[in-house]
Structure 1
Amino acid sequence: MFSRFGKPGLTRRTFLQSTAAVAAATSLPRIANAQDKVIKIGFLAPLTGAVAAWGKPGLDGCEIWAERVNAAGGIKLSDGDYMVEFVPYDNEYDPAKARTGATKLIREDGVSFIMMLGGDTWPGVQPVADRTGMLFSTLLPSDLGPDTTTLIAPAEVHPIYNVTAVEWMAENRPELKTAVMCAQDDALGLPSVATYLAAFEAAGIEMQGEPLLFDPATTDFAPVVTRLISSSPDIVCLDTCYSDYVHPICEQLFQQGYEGQIISCTADFYDQIIAKTSAEFMEGFLFQFPDFDDPALNSDQVNFADPNGFFAEYNKRYPGQWGAVSWEYASIMDLWKAAAEMAGSSEPDAVIAAMKEGGTGKHAFGDARWWGKELFGIENALVGDWPVVAIEGGKATIKEFRNIPAWYDKHGDLLVKHMKAYDQMWDQRG
C-alpha cells in the first residue's frame, strides 16, 4: 500500500514524447476569435470520479459568474459586447481524456480560453497548448515550467499557500512540537508534501518519521491512520488529500481517539465530517479555503465582487456543495475578463499580455505579483496573500491573511530543498 517515491501513471516526459499526442496536436487549427457575439470558455476538469470535488463545484460557480456578467452587458471588446458561455468537458482526471478534451474544445467548440485543474492531466494537454498557442489556466502552479508559456496559475498557488497555516499555527499554538503527515502518492500530493515539510522545518516542528504516502486507489484508511498516529503526534497533517480521503481519515482519527491538532490543505464539505465525528473533534481544524460569507472577505483588499452574495446564490442553487474550488475558476474569469477588455480582444496572446502588464494583478485576496522564476522557471503564477482558516463552532472562520512571498523570501531555500528531494522541481519533472 505504501511507497515513498512512486509515480503512478504517465509522467510529463513520457507523455510529451508520445508521437500520437504530438501528431494529434499538430493538426489543430487555432480558433481564438469569438463568433456570433458569444465568447466560449473551455472548462476542462474532472466532473466525475474521485477528483470531481475540485472540478464540478467550480463549473457551477462559473455558471453563476456568467449569468452575472451577461446580465451586466457581457464582455466589452473593441468590436462590441459579447456574451460568455462555458463549454465543459469531463476529463475524469485522466491525461489522455484531457488531451482529447482540449482538442475538441479548440477545434470543434472554438473556445478562447481553457481552464483546468491541472496536475496529472496537464502532460496530456501540453502538446495541444504548444501547437495551438491556446491560453490555459491551472490551479496547480507545480504544472509550470519554462516551456509552459501559455499556461498561467492566476488563482490558486497550490501548494505554496500551505505554508501560511503552518506559520500561523506555530505562532499561535507554540506548544505543538511534533507532526506526522499522509498523502496520496500523485502529482497533487507530492509537491504539497514537500511544501509542508519545508513549512514545518521553518517553524521548528519535528516530523515523526517520513510522510506516509498511500496509493490513490486506497479505500480502507483504518490501517493508514493507525500507523499515522502510533507515535502520538501533536499534529496530524492531511496534506492535499482529496475530499474522498479527508473524510474517512477524519472519521478514523475520531474513532481511534486522536485528540491533537489537524491541519489540511482543504476541508471540503466539512459539515459532513462534523456530522460523522463531532463539532468538538473538528474544533480548531486548520485549512486554507474560506466560506465566502466570511466578513473578512468584505475587506477593501479583496478583489472578488460581492463574495457574500455569490456564496448565498451558490448555496441556494447547490446546497451542501460549496468547496475549495467553488469560487476559484470564477476568480480566474474576473482576471481574464479584465485583461480581455483591456486588450479589446479575446485572442490568447493579447489577453495574456494584458493580464501580465506591469508584473502585477488583482488576485481574489488582494494585489499580487506574477512570480515563480526560482521555483517554476517562469513567472506565470500570481502570488500574494492567502487566508488561514479554522473551524470554530462548526463554521469555517478566516483567522488571518498571510503573505506567501514574504514567507518565501525567508525560507525559500527550504522549499527548494524539499521539492528537490521529492523530484518536484520543474527541471526534475521534465
Structure 2
Amino acid sequence: MISRFTRRTFLKSTAVTAVSAGLPRFAAAQGNTIRIGFLAPLTGPVAAWGKPGLDGCMIWAERINAAGGIKLADGSYQVEFVSYDNEYDPAKARTGATKLIREDGASFIMMLGGDTWPGVQPVADRTGMLFSTLLPSDLSPDTTTLIAPAEVHPIYNVTGVEWLAENRPELQTAVICAQDDALGLPSIATYLAAFEAAGIEMQDDPLLFDPATTDFAPVVTRLISKSPDIVCLDTCYSDYVHPICEQLFQQGYKGQIISCTADFYDQIIAKTSREFMEGFVFQFPDFDDPALNADHINFVDPNGFYAEYNKRHPGQWGAVSWEYASIMDLWKAAAEKAGSADPDAVAAAMKEGGKGEHAFGTADWWGTELFGIDNALVGDWPVVAIEDGKATIKEFRSIPAWYAKHGDLLIKHMTAYDQMWNQRG
C-alpha cells in the first residue's frame, strides 16, 4: 500500500505548525479584485475531480465580472481565481494553502478535500481562513472554518441505491470495490448502509484495492465470481472506473452497475458498448438535462453553462465541472449579504437561518450527528442513469428523508470503518 498521512499524525506535526505560523488571519480584497484560491489536484490520478472544476470556475468568473462583479459595502469587485496544484498530496496542499493566503491574498479557498485536508487544517486553524471541501467526511467539531456547501459525498450515494431498489426489485445481491483511501472508505460505509436499508444482500466483504493498482482484470474476476446482480464501483476515481468497466465488459458481466461517478462516460461507451452501459446508475447529471430547468434549481442557466463548457473543453465535462462554481454562487451571495469578503462575515451570512440555496434546491446546514458539526449543506440530490448513451436525471431524492429512516445504519457502518469524526481524530 502507498503510505498516507493520518489526521492525527499530521496535526501533531510541529513542522506544520511552524510553516503556518505568522500567516495573516485573512486577506482583504486587493484593489478592485477579490482573489479566490483553488487548491485541488490539477494533475495526476485525481485530476478529474480538480481540473474540470477550475475550468468551470473560469466560466463562472467571466459571467460574474461581465455582470458587474461582486458588490460589497465599499464598492464592486472583479473576481479572480488563483490555483495551486496539490497533486492530491497533503504536504503540497499545506504549501499551497500557505502560498494562496500569504502571497496571493485569497479571501476564500476551495478544495476537493479528502487525504489533502489534514495538511491544510493547521493553516486554516492558524489563519481563520474559510475553506470549502467536496467531502463532508472531512468535517469534525474542530473544522470550524471548513464548509461543505455543494457536494455531500458520500451520503448522497444512498439515493441511487434507494431508487434502484424501488425500480429494480429483482436485484437482490451486490458486491462492491474501492481504492483504500479517504475517498473510498466513507463511501463504502455509505453504500453498505444503503444496501442494508434496501434489503440487498452483500455477497462478500468490500474489495479494497491498492490505489497504485493498474491491472484490474484480477479485481474484476474476483468481484464477479459469485455472479452478483449489482456491481458497485463506490467512489472509484475515473482512472479506475474506466478500466473496471472495460474488464466487466470483456469478462461478460451482464448485471447492473452503480457508481458514485461516471466521468467521461462517453469514453467508457466507446470502449464497451451502448448496450453494456445502458441503465448504469450514478449521481452526477449533465447540465443540459431538462430537469435542471425546474423552478427549485438554484444554478443559473445550467444549460448555457454546459454548452459553453463543452465548447471550450469538449469531452471534459465531469462530476465537478459545476460544483466549485456552485460553491461560488453561495459565497458570492453571502459576501454581498455581509457586504464584506471577510471569512467570518461570509461564513455567518452563508449559514444564517440554518438553510442555504444549494444547486438542487433549498437545503439545511446539517451534520452534527455524523460529522460533529452542522457545516454540510444537505438536501435533495439527483439520481442519474445512462439511457441510450446519455446521462438522464431519473429523480431528485431527499438525503435527509433517507437519513431520518436509516441514519442508525449509516452510523453503524461508518463506525465499523473508523470514519466517524471522533474516530478520525
1:411 aligns with 2:406: yes
Q: Which residue of 2 aligns with 1:249?
A: 244
Asked if structure 2 preserves the Cα contact closer than 8 Å seen for 1:8 and 1:186, the reply is no
Partners of 2:25 and 2:400 in 1: CA distance: 36
* SS of alignment partner, residue 175 of structure 1: coil
Moved over 3 A (4+): none
Q: Which residue of 1 aligns with 2:274?
A: 279
> Which amino acid in 2 is paired with 1:337?
K
Asked if structure 2 preserves the Cα contact closer than 8 Å seen for 1:94 and 1:120, the reply is yes
Deviation at 1:8, TM superposition (A): 4.1
1:295 aligns with 2:290: yes
CA deviation vs aligned residue, 1:301-332 (integer Å, no higher than 9, x gap): 10000000000000000000000000000000
CA deviation vs aligned residue, 1:183-210 (integer Å, no higher than 9, x gap): 0000000000000000000000000010
* SS of alignment partner, residue 324 of structure 2: helix
CA deviation vs aligned residue, 1:18-71 (integer Å, no higher than 9, x gap): 000011112212232101110000000000000000000000000000000000
Partners of 1:357 and 1:24 in 2: CA distance: 33
* SS of alignment partner, residue 336 of structure 2: helix
Coordinate RMSD, CA, aligned: 0.7
* SS of alignment partner, residue 148 of structure 1: coil
Q: TM-score, normalised by structure 1?
A: 0.98
Structure 2 segments unaligned to the other structure (5+ residues): none
1:207 aligns with 2:202: yes
* SS of alignment partner, residue 356 of structure 1: helix
Asked if structure 2 preserves the Cα contact closer than 8 Å seen for 1:75 and 1:81, the reply is yes
Q: Which residue of 2 aligns with 1:4?
A: none
After superposition, where does 1:340-419 map in structure 2 within 5 Å? 340-419=335-414
Q: TM-score, normalised by structure 2?
A: 0.99
Asked if structure 2 preserves the Cα contact closer than 8 Å seen for 1:30 and 1:107, the reply is no
After superposition, where does 1:63-74 map in structure 2 within 5 Å? 63-74=58-69
* SS of alignment partner, residue 382 of structure 1: strand
Q: Which residue of 2 aligns with 1:227?
A: 222
Asked if structure 2 preserves the Cα contact closer than 8 Å seen for 1:138 and 1:151, the reply is yes
After superposition, where does 1:12-411 map in structure 2 within 5 Å? 12-411=7-406
* SS of alignment partner, residue 227 of structure 2: coil
> Which amino acid in 1 is paired with 2:90?
P
Deviation at 1:384, TM superposition (A): 0.1
Partners of 2:78 and 2:367 in 1: CA distance: 33
> Which amino acid in 1 is paired with 2:169?
P
* SS of alignment partner, residue 73 of structure 1: coil
Partners of 2:107 and 2:190 in 1: CA distance: 33
Partners of 2:208 and 2:413 in 1: CA distance: 15
* SS of alignment partner, residue 427 of structure 1: helix
CA deviation vs aligned residue, 1:383-418 (integer Å, no higher than 9, x gap): 000000000000000000000000000000000000
Aligned length: 425
Partners of 2:244 and 2:164 in 1: CA distance: 21
> Which amino acid in 2 is paired with 1:222?
A
Partners of 1:301 and 1:148 in 2: CA distance: 30
* SS of alignment partner, residue 106 of structure 2: coil
Asked if structure 2 preserves the Cα contact closer than 8 Å seen for 1:238 and 1:265, the reply is yes
Asked if structure 1 preserves the Cα contact closer than 8 Å seen for 2:26 and 2:128, the reply is no
Deviation at 1:136, TM superposition (A): 0.0
Partners of 2:25 and 2:86 in 1: CA distance: 21
Partners of 2:56 and 2:106 in 1: CA distance: 19
CA deviation vs aligned residue, 1:178-236 (integer Å, no higher than 9, x gap): 00000000000000000000000000000001000000000000000000000000000
> Which amino acid in 2 is paired with 1:61?
G
> Which amino acid in 2 is paired with 1:376?
F
Asked if structure 1 preserves the Cα contact closer than 8 Å seen for 2:232 and 2:257, the reply is yes
